[in-house]
């Protein structure tokens, strides 16, 4: 069963070792090259923490389980800090093709909760494969040109 970024937003993050609630999912950091979720961002702003996907014991429909609290870490570079501040959120971003034309707003992203591999991007009412994603950032999501509807 696929999970999605919209559904995962706000989901509780719980330590498997202590059963304590560590926070809630604020955003998911994507590695565009590998087309997978690199880390989960818990909370936002100065108090935000990241957990690398490999440190999760499970990404479930009701809670995200972290192996233990030690896996939480502060943002380590500018990109992670921007993500923690909410600037790199993909959902809701305008989507441009590499040819410079807007194709809509990125409404949601589906992924495999077992592996973190990103599956589909939903733009407006269309679904396109995650392989089309070329990059993303504070201004826009960029996809390859094959996805432009004919003029």
Partner 1 sequence: MKLLVTASQIRGLPVVTIRGGEDVAEVRDVIYSPEAGRLVGMTLNKRGFFSGRRREVLPADAVHAIGRHAVMIVDDSSLTARDDAPDDVGRPATGRNVIGNDVLTEGGRSLGVVRDLALLVGSTGEVVGYQIEKPTGGQGYIPLPAQVAVSGAALVVPDVTEEFVRDDLVGLGAAVDDFRARLGLA
Which range of residues in 8-16, 17-25, 120-128, 129-137 is near partner 1 by CB under 8 A? 129-137
Q: How far is the CB of 94 from partner 1 (least distance, A)?
A: 8
Residues 85-104 that bind partner 1 (CB under 8 A): 93, 96-102
Which range of residues in 57-65, 67-75, 110-118, 132-140 is near partner 1 by CB under 8 A? 132-140
Kindly state whether residue 128 participates in binding partner 1, applying the rule CB under 8 A: no
> Rounded CA gap, 8 and 126, in Å?
20
Residues 4-43 that bind partner 1 (CB under 8 A): 32
CA dihedral defined by 123, 60, 17, 82, rounded to 10 degrees?
Answer: 0
* Residue 136 backbone phi and psi in degrees, to 5: -155, 160
Kindly state whether residue 137 participates in binding partner 1, applying the rule CB under 8 A: yes
Kindly state whether residue 105 participates in binding partner 1, applying the rule CB under 8 A: no
Contacts 24+ apart (CB under 8 A), 53-57: 53/116, 57/16
Residue position matching structure tokens 């040819």 = 99
């Amino acid at each position: 069963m696929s999970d999605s970024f919209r559904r995962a937003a706000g989901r509780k993050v719980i330590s498997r070792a202590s059963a304590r609630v560590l926070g809630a999912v604020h955003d998911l950091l994507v590695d565009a090259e590998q087309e997978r979720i690199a880390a989960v961002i818990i909370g936002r702003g100065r108090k935000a923490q990241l957990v690398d996907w490999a440190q999760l014991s499970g990404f479930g429909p009701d809670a995200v389980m972290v192996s233990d609290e030690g896996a939480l870490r502060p943002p380590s570079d500018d990109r992670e800090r921007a993500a923690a501040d909410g600037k790199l959120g993909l959902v809701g971003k305008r989507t441009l093709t590499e040819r410079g034309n807007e194709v809509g707003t990125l409404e949601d992203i589906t992924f495999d909760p077992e592996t973190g591999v990103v599956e589909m991007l939903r733009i407006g009412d269309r679904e396109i494969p995650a392989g089309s994603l070329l990059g993303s950032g504070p201004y826009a999501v960029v996809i390859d040109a094959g996805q432009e509807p004919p003029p």
